[in-house]
Amino acid sequence: MDIPSDKKTQEIILDSIADGVFTVDTQWHVTSFNRAAEQITGVPREEAIGRPCCEVFRASICETACALRQTLDTGRPIVNQAIYILNAQGDRIPISISTGVFRDQQGNIVGGVETFRDLSVVEQLRHELEARFTFADIIGHSPRMQDLFDILPQVAVSDSTVLLEGASGTGKELVARAIHDLSRRHDQPFVAVNCGALPDTLLESELFGYKAGAFTDARVDKPGRFAIADQGTIFLDEIGDVSPAMQSRLLRVLQQRTFEPLGTNQPVSVDIRVIAATNKSLQELVNRGEFREDLFYRIHIVRLTIPALRDRREDIPLLIDHFITRFSRLRQKDVIGVSEEALAHLMEYDYPGNVRELENIIEHGFVLCHSGLIQLEHLPPNVRGSDRSQWITAPQATTLENMERLLIIDALRRHQGNRKEAAKQLGIHASTLFRKARALGIELPATDGRSHKE
């Protein structure tokens, strides 16, 4: 029986591996190339051996950030880095690579090895998952967003008035548009009005329109937004900001679906669906007598709450991917993602401006980053500042006591002084938080914070 030579044995072992494997000498010439490498790259072994690895492998990082070069320079391996290569047919193949170093008996580097795995199937699955996590341009795979996606089609077909609650930048208008697009009115107008942006007199003429001669500059008839939205949907954003007088007029439209343009007593009938939105608690405004109770109940038929981004942090990577793809197309740049360090900061940040703020942060990154990964230094200073590792390296954070102090202060800040919520975040009872705060000399806010909780 023939016993295979060492080289032959190595070749058999390498060919039995499902991952692509190739080795190089110190001059970057390919010295071995297994069967999986042939299949993934489309390059036959006999053509690959002895050629510069960049001409065989054709990876997105060959010129700028060769993984093998980094490993040979530093002696440190790279594990599972995601890149793409161009195969012999010019197709982009997503792969993950890992590297290692060969040393002789004296410890001198004599070459390197790179293994790579075809991620085409994984990428395909990822795209299918992305489709599941996207609903009419709204993105999220968090349970709260998935719940919203589940209920939206039923809400849309119901034709009921909808109240959307959520902080600024959470995407209330996107949800309103999704409801309109899924409704029977989808081929009719969708008209959005920001009620908080206009003074009463302007809002009145904007919503109801006017007849020529209604006031000095009214030379011709102007249809209002309600008339324009006839048969379709009107989206009344920031409805909590309208004055009591305007609330009365809106109530009449909602009750009777009729209104009178300025300068006429002739009522106009409209068939519209109303979607209202607010970043305030309308219930609290009603309790304080600042919002009409009858109007509240007219619009509070179906209420949907859109969670703040900090309450669905698991959606942040998905949203980052979405914005990067969009800005890459718009700005014509080859930015492929964010670095691990940048992502860690983006995951930590509080996002008072919600998804809109995240979008702005990524756009800021695109201004400073020309290609490759958005790094920490490409992010705005306020995002870079939210660094827990900075606390750890800070001189005052060297003791357990100081760490406790910093964590408590941060938790209180995150929850606007709400001790109960801060304690919940820290996993301790509110009375323990109070006791610890007193022992550590932390001045608790004069107000508890519950009164202005969103």
Partner 1 sequence: MRVALPVWQGRVSPVFDVAGQLLVVDLQGNQEADRQVDSFEGLNIARRADRLAEMGVETVICGAVSRALALHIQGHGIALFTCVCGTVDDVLRAFQHKTLTSQRFAMPGCCGRQRRRCRGG
Distance CA 271, CA 250 (A): 15
Q: Phi and psi at residue 203, in whole multiples of 5°? A: -60, -40
Among 86-94, 218-226, 292-300, 396-404, the segment contacting partner 1 (CB under 8 A): 86-94
- Decide: helix, strand or coil at residue 3: coil
Is 326 a binder of partner 1 (CB under 8 A)? no
Is 42 a binder of partner 1 (CB under 8 A)? yes
Q: Alpha helices, DSSP H only, in 210-311?
A: 225-228, 244-256, 282-287, 293-299
Measuring CA to CA, which residue among 329, 205, 347, 188 is closest to residue 271? 188
Is 137 a binder of partner 1 (CB under 8 A)? no
Paired tokens of 196: 């908080």
Residue number, 332 or 393, with CB nearest to partner 1? 332
Is 328 a binder of partner 1 (CB under 8 A)? yes
> How many amino acids of this chain bind partner 1 (CB under 8 A)?
33
CB of 174 to partner 1, least distance (A): 26
CB of 369 to partner 1, least distance (A): 8
Q: Alpha helices, DSSP H only, in 75-222?
A: 120-132, 143-158, 172-182, 200-208
- Cβ atoms of 24 and 31 within 8 Å: the answer is yes
Paired tokens of 438: 């007193």
- Decide: helix, strand or coil at residue 403: helix
- Cβ atoms of 423 and 433 within 8 Å: the answer is yes
Q: Alpha helices, DSSP H only, in 229-292?
A: 244-256, 282-287
Among 6-14, 36-44, 256-264, 420-428, the segment contacting partner 1 (CB under 8 A): 36-44
Residue number, 62 or 192, with CB nearest to partner 1? 62
Q: Phi and psi at residue 76, in whole multiples of 5°? A: -100, 135
Region 346-375 residues binding partner 1, contact defined as CB under 8 A: 370-371
CB of 84 to partner 1, least distance (A): 9
Residue number, 42 or 196, with CB nearest to partner 1? 42
CB of 21 to partner 1, least distance (A): 16
CB of 72 to partner 1, least distance (A): 16
CB of 60 to partner 1, least distance (A): 5
Instruction: Single out the residue of 21, 59, 68, 179 in contact with partner 1 (rule: CB under 8 A).
Output: 59
Among 35-43, 145-153, 156-164, 198-206, the segment contacting partner 1 (CB under 8 A): 35-43
Is 39 a binder of partner 1 (CB under 8 A)? no
Instruction: Single out the residue of 137, 150, 314, 334 in contact with partner 1 (rule: CB under 8 A).
Output: 334
Residue number, 41 or 354, with CB nearest to partner 1? 41
Is 90 a binder of partner 1 (CB under 8 A)? yes
Is 54 a binder of partner 1 (CB under 8 A)? yes
Is 376 a binder of partner 1 (CB under 8 A)? no
Distance CA 442, CA 379 (A): 31
Distance CA 92, CA 62 (A): 14
Distance CA 247, CA 238 (A): 12
Q: Which positions ≥6 away from 442 have C-beta within 8 Å?
A: 405, 408, 409, 412, 436
Residue number, 55 or 401, with CB nearest to partner 1? 55
Q: Which residues bind partner 1 (CB under 8 A)?
A: 41-44, 47-48, 51-52, 54-64, 86, 88-92, 328-329, 332-335, 370-371
